[in-house]
Structure 1
Amino acid sequence: METVVESIQPIAAAHDMSMFALFVQADWVVKSVMLGLLFASIACWAVIIAKAAAYAQARREMKSFDRVFASGEPLGAIYTRIKDRPRQGLGALFAAAMEEWNGSHADNAANAAGLQARIRIVLDTTVAAESEKLDRNLGLLATVGSAAPFIGLFGTVWGIMNAFTSIAAAKSTSLAVVAPGIAEALFATALGLLAAIPAVIAYNKLSSDSGRIIARFEAFADRVSVLLSRQLDARGNG
């Protein structure tokens, strides 16, 4: 029994199986895979945190602007109050529609149908621009979520090939010969999953949140279009 223990101890001491040691001992290809997956994971978490904060801020701004819009204050007065503020979300939609409205009235260059069409185009364009801001960088999460497991698998396959090469070179099937290479290979797979799983979960959640915010943008654009159309009809009837 003592002989077996004594023979195992040198082997365990010869191969440090910590994560850092597995990285240092890995082949340069496997190292490149590990580093790439680590950087991808960091980038994904940066996007996740930034988007979560941006969506929370967008919801707060929508709630605040909804209160102002539902107060019954004249649209012109609301526009005068917000026109010099940074424009985003519902405020950007409202300001864009009011600028088209005021510009057309100042020039007296459009009939009712033409003005309504232009207001609708301006609103749709602004919704598209705001939607693009919300969805920006979400593609990174989708790409990492779908590609990271395969990149990790590539590192695993390469590491196992090296392990079998070590077996052939040593002319030994001892576990001590093959274990370090297999451990390095499996570590690459683990890093791939570490990058992919949060990316997939976050992409699904953030895409859902973005879709709900964009739906509120579109609903608000319809409200603004209807209100301005009513004012235009009232002016024509007057």
Structure 2
Amino acid sequence: MNPVLNMDAATLSPIALFLQADWVVKSVMAGLLLASIWTWAIIIAFSGRLRRTRAEMGRFERDFWKAEDIDAFHKAESNRDLPSARVFSAGVQEWRRSTASGTVDKGGTRERLATSMGAAVALEIDKLSDRLNILATIGSVAPFVGLFGTVWGIMRSFTSIASAQNSSLAVVAPGIAEALFATAIGLFAAIPAVIAYNRFSHGVNKVEAGLNRFADGFHTTLSRQLDAAR
């Protein structure tokens, strides 16, 4: 076995490539590795949060439609840390404010109820999707950061060729390998971020649709009470 080939294989290992790189490429690699760790931390945390939120919303809505007394249900469930509960509370609070006086403007009450619960839905979705912008940023920026490291590494390789006045593979390979390794780390960070962003966006859209359906159903219930009032 050729000892030169053994040495080349060792110097082309991922750890060796990182250690041999200059400070610019090392900074790119380190930043992309941190971005990858951050991405996976968000994926794990958000996945559990989204699953719990959807399950608890389903239970809340089933309990709500079974409840016979809206005021009693509101007193028991309004303080729950749940999007459905906060949308429900927004509707109840607006209902109480609009019907507190002796004379009730039915059309105005309906509009205020829709606006109040619609704003609550939008606020809950903004809070739920807060971390998704980080995944979107990493997914779109990481490949270009890796490409910057690639370009810098290739420039360094050409400088090494010029200094050594030797274009053999032993001179060129380490620098080019460092450059391509930076791109690989960029893709390693970006691909999970893009997949997770698309998947979680779909999940958030389903939560939003569920909240809107709940708000519409609650609005219909309150609207019937307005029609029944004289």
Question: Common fold, TM-score beyond 0.5?
Answer: yes
> 2-side partners of 1:217 and 1:94: how far apart?
10
1:87 offset after TM fit, Å? 3.7
> 1-side partners of 2:173 and 2:91: how far apart?
67
Aligned-pair identity (%):
49
Q: Could you tell me which residue of structure 1 aligns to residue 34 of structure 2?
A: 39
The correspondence of residues 212-227 of structure 1 with structure 2, limited to 5 A, is: 212-227=206-221
> 2-side partners of 1:220 and 1:29: how far apart?
53
Gaps of 5+ in 1: none
Moved more, 191-200 or 31-40: 31-40
Q: Could you tell me which residue of structure 2 aligns to residue 139 of structure 1?
A: 133
Question: Residues 160-186 of structure 1: CA distance to partner in whole angstroms, max 9, x if unpaired?
Answer: 110111011001112111111111111
Indicate yes or no: 2:56 matched with 1:70: no
> 2-side partners of 1:187 and 1:178: how far apart?
14
Question: Residues 31-62 of structure 1: CA distance to partner in whole angstroms, max 9, x if unpaired?
Answer: 11111111111111122112111111111111
Moved more, 98-107 or 185-194: 98-107
Moved more, 54-63 or 16-25: 16-25
CA RMSD of aligned residues (A): 1.8
Question: Residues 39-97 of structure 1: CA distance to partner in whole angstroms, max 9, x if unpaired?
Answer: 111111122112111111111111111221221422122112113x2342111111111
**Cα distance change of structure 1 residues 10 and 201 upon mapping to structure 2, 3 Å threshold:** closer
Gaps of 5+ in 2: none
> 2-side partners of 1:69 and 1:9: how far apart?
71
Match for residue 183 of structure 2 among 173, 184, 189: 189
> 1-side partners of 2:118 and 2:190: how far apart?
35
Q: Which amino acid is 2:117 matched to?
A: L
SS of 2:66's equivalent in the other structure is coil
The correspondence of residues 85-100 of structure 1 with structure 2, limited to 5 A, is: 85-100=79-94
> 2-side partners of 1:70 and 1:176: how far apart?
73
> 1-side partners of 2:20 and 2:215: how far apart?
59
**Cα distance change of structure 1 residues 50 and 108 upon mapping to structure 2, 3 Å threshold:** farther
CA contact under 8 A between 2:61 and 2:214: conserved in structure 1?
no
> 2-side partners of 1:136 and 1:167: how far apart?
48
> 2-side partners of 1:54 and 1:192: how far apart?
27
**Cα distance change of structure 1 residues 26 and 108 upon mapping to structure 2, 3 Å threshold:** farther
1:124 offset after TM fit, Å? 0.8
> 1-side partners of 2:172 and 2:228: how far apart?
84
> 2-side partners of 1:221 and 1:139: how far apart?
26
Q: Could you tell me which residue of structure 2 aligns to residue 200 of structure 1?
A: 194
The correspondence of residues 1-238 of structure 1 with structure 2, limited to 5 A, is: 5=2, 8=4, 11-12=7-8, 16-83=11-78, 85-108=79-102, 110-236=104-230
CA contact under 8 A between 2:67 and 2:73: conserved in structure 1?
no
Size of the aligned set, in residue pairs, is 230
**Cα distance change of structure 1 residues 10 and 73 upon mapping to structure 2, 3 Å threshold:** closer
**Cα distance change of structure 1 residues 229 and 10 upon mapping to structure 2, 3 Å threshold:** closer
1:110 offset after TM fit, Å? 4.3
TM-score with structure 2 setting the length = 0.93
> 2-side partners of 1:139 and 1:112: how far apart?
40
> 2-side partners of 1:67 and 1:225: how far apart?
16
TM-score with structure 1 setting the length = 0.90
Q: Which amino acid is 2:87 matched to?
A: L
Question: Residues 104-154 of structure 1: CA distance to partner in whole angstroms, max 9, x if unpaired?
Answer: 333446422222221111101100101101211211111211221121111
> 2-side partners of 1:59 and 1:10: how far apart?
55
